[in-house]
């Protein structure tokens, strides 16, 4: 791959990563604000402007994504939105809705990219690649001159990256958002005990290691499932 192509793909990856992560955290912040916790709002994170999110997590929003792309050809990173733990403790169901707002935002972006890809295929703006070798090129531009190829790469990354973010964050292990899902169904006393367990030292580290192992074993199936959704019966 030429340096120019690598830079071209890297720009598409970073745009998709930056917007997807920003929307994820802004959704946490907005739902928390609507449900009574203005902590993230006061921190300036109810916004699609990535700058406040980068200021809060420069390592996870800039350094790690760029390094992971240079080393592996794809991006990984993180961001966070602050919240009031006392508010979460008093309102476990609201806290769960706040947590699930992030993955919901990624699902919406994934579906939007899917619709645009399918529309582009229908209108002959895009075509199925002769061979799909990575997630950067799930779709190809019919006429690659101009912005066509950049749009194809950007939508490919938006689709698969947000599918991964949605599914990974729904894994019901701390510190991932999916660990809050039981709070929607537990009684008040059970929710309090469960929340205390989630805050126990070391639980988040163990949960992240287990989630990463679990998700790694499922990644190939997710990849092939995504391709089958885009091109039923073709690959």
Give per-residue pLDDT as tens, 154-176.
Answer: 999 999 999 999 999 999 999 99
- Model confidence at 198, in pLDDT bands (50, 70, 90)? confident
Examine residue 225 and state whether it is found in any structural domain, yes or no.
yes
Instruction: Please give the structure tokens belonging to residue 191.
Output: 């929710």
Q: Average pLDDT for residues 52-71, to the nearest whole number?
A: 96
For residue 14, pLDDT over 90 is answered with: yes
Catalytic annotation on 149?
Answer: no
Count up the domains in the chain and report the number: 1
- Model confidence at 214, in pLDDT bands (50, 70, 90)? confident
> What is the Cα 161 distance to its own chain's centre?
6
CA-wise closest residue to 103 among 35, 15, 20, 6: 20
> Which of the two residues, 30 and 189, has the higher pLDDT score?
30
**Quick one: how many helices (H) and strands (E) in the chain?**
10, 2
Q: Identify the active-site residue in 25, 57, 149, 192.
A: 25
pLDDT at 235: 63
Burial (0-12, 13-18, 19+ Cβ within 10 Å), 104 = middle
Question: What is the distance between the alpha carbons of residues 100 and 27, in angstroms, rounded to a whole number?
Answer: 9
Examine residue 208 and state whether it is found in any structural domain, yes or no.
yes
Could you give phi then psi for residue 111, rounded to 5 degrees? Answer: -65, -40
pLDDT at 6: 83
Examine residue 152 and state whether it is found in any structural domain, yes or no.
yes
Examine residue 42 and state whether it is found in any structural domain, yes or no.
yes
Examine residue 109 and state whether it is found in any structural domain, yes or no.
yes
Question: What is the distance between the alpha carbons of residues 228 and 235, in angstroms, rounded to a whole number?
Answer: 7
Examine residue 235 and state whether it is found in any structural domain, yes or no.
no
Q: 70 is in which domain, residue-wise?
A: 3-230
Q: At a CB cut-off of 8 Å and minimum separation 6, what does 200 contact?
A: none
- For residue 173, CA distances in Å to 43, 176, 212, 235 come to 27, 6, 10, 33
Residue 233 CB neighbours (<10 A): 5
Give per-residue pLDDT as tens, 116-149.
Answer: 999 999 999 999 998 898 999 999 999 887 788 9
Question: Which pTM value belongs to this model?
Answer: 0.94
Which percentage of the chain shows pLDDT scores above 70? 98
> Which of the two residues, 164 and 7, has the higher pLDDT score?
164
Instruction: Please give the structure tokens belonging to residue 162.
Output: 């947000």
- Model confidence at 1, in pLDDT bands (50, 70, 90)? low
Residue 222 CB neighbours (<10 A): 15
Q: Average pLDDT for residues 27-54, to the nearest whole number?
A: 97
């Amino acid at each position: 791959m030429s340096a120019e192509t690598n830079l071209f793909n890297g720009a598409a990856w970073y745009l998709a990563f930056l917007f997807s992560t920003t929307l994820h955290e802004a959704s946490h912040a907005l739902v928390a604000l609507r449900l009574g916790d203005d902590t993230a709002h006061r921190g300036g994170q109810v916004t699609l402007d990535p700058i406040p999110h980068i200021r809060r997590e420069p390592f996870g929003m800039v350094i790690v994504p760029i390094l992971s792309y240079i080393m592996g050809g794809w991006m990984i990173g993180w961001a966070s939105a602050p919240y009031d733990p006392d508010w979460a403790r008093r309102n476990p169901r609201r806290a769960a809705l706040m947590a699930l707002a992030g993955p919901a935002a990624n699902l919406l972006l994934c579906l939007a990219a899917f619709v645009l890809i399918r529309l582009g295929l229908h209108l002959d703006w895009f075509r199925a690649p002769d061979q799909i070798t990575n997630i950067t090129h799930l779709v190809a531009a019919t006429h690659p001159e101009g912005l066509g190829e950049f749009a194809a790469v950007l939508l490919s990354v938006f689709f698969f990256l947000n599918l991964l973010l949605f599914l990974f964050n729904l894994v019901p292990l701390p510190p991932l958002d999916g660990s809050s899902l039981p709070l929607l169904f537990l009684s008040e006393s059970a929710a309090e005990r469960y929340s205390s367990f989630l805050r126990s030292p070391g639980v988040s580290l163990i949960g992240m290691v287990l989630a990463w192992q679990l998700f790694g074993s499922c990644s190939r199936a997710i990849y092939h499932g995504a391709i089958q959704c885009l091109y039923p019966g073709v690959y």
